């Protein structure tokens, strides 16, 4: 099994789908005796619920995972017990702040109007071929940077400046997958020699560190200069910058790095896969537009189609806070896209002690357990014979409400105590960008451009998504 995985490393996600369909949702991979490598791969919802919820105390982030993801330091994604509770409380106190969501919506639409729309208008006027993956990655990076650090790096500007930090994040994500699928002794030997993927990792780590620490130093200097109090408000544009005041330098670096890794890549990737699927399924796009039209009529009482056509974008942006949770079909389409192309395609755990999973598999501390969310969304036994279809209707009940799907079957935002605290933030960013683009532009994919998922910690398209855009007249 291990040689087959290594041979298919470039298509590891689809390879896992094929094997899991034949092995009743769970299989074991063992390496040569000298590697001490044992991997249990599962997409069985009962196993997932057991590990991430019911018996979560036996499955902390192990030392192996922390070593593989060392660049994240002691952040929310790599710590356990009291340290993890500290980070989660910090994140929840920010994301749950009464002013945070209003500030978030304002920041998202500011970036839509100052970055996304001007760039797409220019691309439309000049009939430029653009990479939507790069564009949405920059949109997410600037937005999250503004929310997290009150600093807009301006990566989404007309000339699309080259920012080493963005490439460093991408390189780091690829190396994480590589470290998961090869024996530890192999990647450690490469690290010692400073070659291959480990050379890439070292260079990316330095760029990420320099960026984050550079910001922290700059912000601390500003605070000292301005003698800002600790009572700064989220509504004043401070966002998650509360961390800058209350956290020591090492913890700030870990937390900010974690938030960039979790937010920038995942939202941008989720958006590009959504538009890839919707441009392949134009009937879905038509239904989303119809829903937007209906909502506009309800909130504005527009008299004619011309009123709606000329004012659609402005009406939607002005009423977004009230509309975003009423757009049922759009929400269903986003969930369906996340099912087929989850931004984080896999997750890992190591049991602290012996355990027996609901599937009957016995595990212990010498084993690594891997959940492959990409494969989970493609299991016929879980989603039906039409599981490969992009079908938002599967998420909508007859009453027109969103259908409940257990989070241990739909792992886009994880499940249990470690459920993503940024879920609402991610959905807000996705819906705002989607509404802005759909209401103003026709997206035309470039013919014959290959669309292949990359073997990475984040499910990027290996060669991006090349399109042309045309503004509606």
CA proximity to 430, closest of 411, 442, 413: 413
199 exposure class (CB count in 10 Å sphere: 0-12, 13-18, 19+): middle
Check: CB of residue 96 under 8 Å from CB of residue 441: no
Query: Residue 326 — φ and ψ, nearest 5°?
Result: -100, -10
158 exposure class (CB count in 10 Å sphere: 0-12, 13-18, 19+): exposed
Token pair 């409940």 is at which residue? 404
CA distance 236 to 401: 36
CA distance 5 to 16: 8
CA distance 351 to 363: 7
335 annotated as a binding-site residue: no
295-299, Cβ contacts within 8 angstroms, sequence gap of 24 or more? 295/319, 295/323, 295/326, 295/327, 299/323
- Which residue positions form the known binding site for heme? 420
- Which residue positions form the known binding site? 420
């Amino acid at each position: 099994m291990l040689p087959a995985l290594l041979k298919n490393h470039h298509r590891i996600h689809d390879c896992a789908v094929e094997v899991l369909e034949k092995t009743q949702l769970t299989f074991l991979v063992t390496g040569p005796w000298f590697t001490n490598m044992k991997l249990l791969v599962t997409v069985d919802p009962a196993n997932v619920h057991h590990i991430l919820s019911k018996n979560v105390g036996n499955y902390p982030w192990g030392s192996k995972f922390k070593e593989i993801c060392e660049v994240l330091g002691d952040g929310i994604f790599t710590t356990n017990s009291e340290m993890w509770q500290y980070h989660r409380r910090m994140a929840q106190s920010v994301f749950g702040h009464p002013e945070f969501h209003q500030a978030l919506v304002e920041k998202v639409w500011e970036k839509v109007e100052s970055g996304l729309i001007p760039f797409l208008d220019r691309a439309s006027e000049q009939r430029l071929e653009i990479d939507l993956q790069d564009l949405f990655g920059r949109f997410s990076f600037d937005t999250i940077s503004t929310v997290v650090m009150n600093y807009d790096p301006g990566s989404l500007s007309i000339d699309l400046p080259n920012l080493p930090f963005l490439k460093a994040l991408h390189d780091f994500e690829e190396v994480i997958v590589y470290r998961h699928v090869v024996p530890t002794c192999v990647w450690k030997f490469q690290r010692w020699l400073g070659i291959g993927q480990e050379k890439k990792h070292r260079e990316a780590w330095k760029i990420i560190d320099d960026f984050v620490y550079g910001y922290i130093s700059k912000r601390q200097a500003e605070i000292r200069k301005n003698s800002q109090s600790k009572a700064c408000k989220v509504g004043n544009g401070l966002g998650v910058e509360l961390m800058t005041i209350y956290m020591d330098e090492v913890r700030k670096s870990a937390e900010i790095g974690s938030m960039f890794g979790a937010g920038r890549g995942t939202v941008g990737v989720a958006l590009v896969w959504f538009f890839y699927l919707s441009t392949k399924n134009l009937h879905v796009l038509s239904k989303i537009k119809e829903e937007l039209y209906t909502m506009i009529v309800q909130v504005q009482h527009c008299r004619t189609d011309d009123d709606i056509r000329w004012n659609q974008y402005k009406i939607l942006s002005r009423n977004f806070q009230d509309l975003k949770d009423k757009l049922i079909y759009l929400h269903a389409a986003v969930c369906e896209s996340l099912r087929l192309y989850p931004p984080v395609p896999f997750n890992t755990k190591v049991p602290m002690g012996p355990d027996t999973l609901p599937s009957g598999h016995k595990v212990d501390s010498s084993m690594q357990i891997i959940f492959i969310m990409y494969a989970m969304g493609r299991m016929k036994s879980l989603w039906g014979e039409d599981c490969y279809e992009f079908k938002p209707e599967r998420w909508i009940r007859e009453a027109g409400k969103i259908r409940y799907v257990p989070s241990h079957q739909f792992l886009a935002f994880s499940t249990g105590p470690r459920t993503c605290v940024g879920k609402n933030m991610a959905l807000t960013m996705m819906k705002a960008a989607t509404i802005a683009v759909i209401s103003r532009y026709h997206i035309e994919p470039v013919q014959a451009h290959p669309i292949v998922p990359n073997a990475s910690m984040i499910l990027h398209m290996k060669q991006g998504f090349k399109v042309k855009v045309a503004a509606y007249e």
